[in-house]
Amino acid sequence: MSKFLKVKCACGNEQNIFSNASLPVSCLVCNTQLTQSSGSRVRVLEGKAKVLEVL
């Protein structure tokens, strides 16, 4: 099931991303890559972003 995730980047920026994104998602402030696509779901990269909430 598709969901939105609220993630926080190491720079402090919080943004909402789609759990089934087909392309990698980058931070809108510092341009750090936050996720890696792995089949049908995104994988949040350890140390670069943290999932705060599933929306």
The pTM score is: 0.81
Domain count across the chain: 1
- Whole-number pLDDT of residue 32: 94
- Whole-number pLDDT of residue 14: 96
Distance (Å, whole) CA 29 – CA 39: 26
- Whole-number pLDDT of residue 33: 94
Task: Tell me which residue has tokens 């994988």.
Answer: 43
Could you read off the pLDDT tens digit of each residue along the chain, which spans 55 residues? 789 999 999 999 999 999 998 889 999 999 999 999 887 888 999 999 999 999 9
- Whole-number pLDDT of residue 39: 79
Range of the domain at 15: 4-54
- Residue 29: CATH number of its domain: 2.20.25.100
